[in-house]
């Protein structure tokens, strides 16, 4: 399988509804909840790409472009954007959709770096 095919096959998309129990006093999604969801999607993407044990080692610049209101649907999309020897980088974007209207807009994006490790927690090659 080529690198491009691996990246395409590992791209991950998850939809979530934004309910009031995940929002702050402004009735928008907590930033920490958004980051948690992004890390989860990034982890799934990295694992689907490598099919090995992957751990988050950093999150780079997460930009909150638009607030995410309660009562909306969000789509999180993770895609591998860089592959190193023992690490890879995943870009995650969160899009907002109104429940009862067409259209969507980018709300948040950020990059997450993962390292492949073995059973002894030592780094190993991302691609076997």
pLDDT at residue 128 above 90? no
Q: What is the pLDDT at residue 37?
A: 98
- In this prediction the pTM is 0.95
Q: Does 126 fall in a domain? A: no
Q: How many CA atoms lie within 13 A of 128 on its CB side?
A: 7
Q: Does 124 fall in a domain? A: no
DSSP labels, 38-85? HHHHHHHHHHHHH-SEEEEEEEEEEEE-S--BTTEEEEEEEEEEEE-S
Q: Strand pairing partners for 82?
A: 89
- Count of domains for the chain: 1
CATH assignment at residue 80:
3.10.129.10
Q: What is the pLDDT of residues 32-88, one digit of tens each?
A: 999 999 999 999 999 999 999 999 999 999 999 999 999 999 999 999 999 999 999
Domain that holds residue 110: 3-116
Q: Does 17 fall in a domain? A: yes
Q: Does 10 fall in a domain? A: yes
Q: Does 127 fall in a domain? A: no
């Amino acid at each position: 399988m080529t690198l491009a095919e691996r990246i395409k096959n590992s791209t991950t998309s998850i939809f979530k509804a934004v309910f009031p129990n995940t929002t702050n006093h402004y009735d928008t999604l907590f930033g920490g909840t958004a980051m948690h969801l992004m890390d989860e999607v990034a982890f799934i993407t990295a694992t689907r790409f490598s099919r090995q044990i992957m751990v988050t080692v950093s999150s780079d610049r997460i930009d909150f472009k638009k607030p995410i209101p309660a009562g909306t649907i969000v789509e999180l999309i993770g895609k591998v954007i860089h592959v190193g020897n023992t690490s890879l980088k995943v870009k995650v974007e969160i899009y907002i959709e109104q429940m009862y209207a067409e259209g969507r807009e980018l709300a948040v994006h950020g990059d997450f770096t993962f390292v492949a490790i073995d059973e002894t927690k030592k780094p190993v090659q991302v691609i076997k």
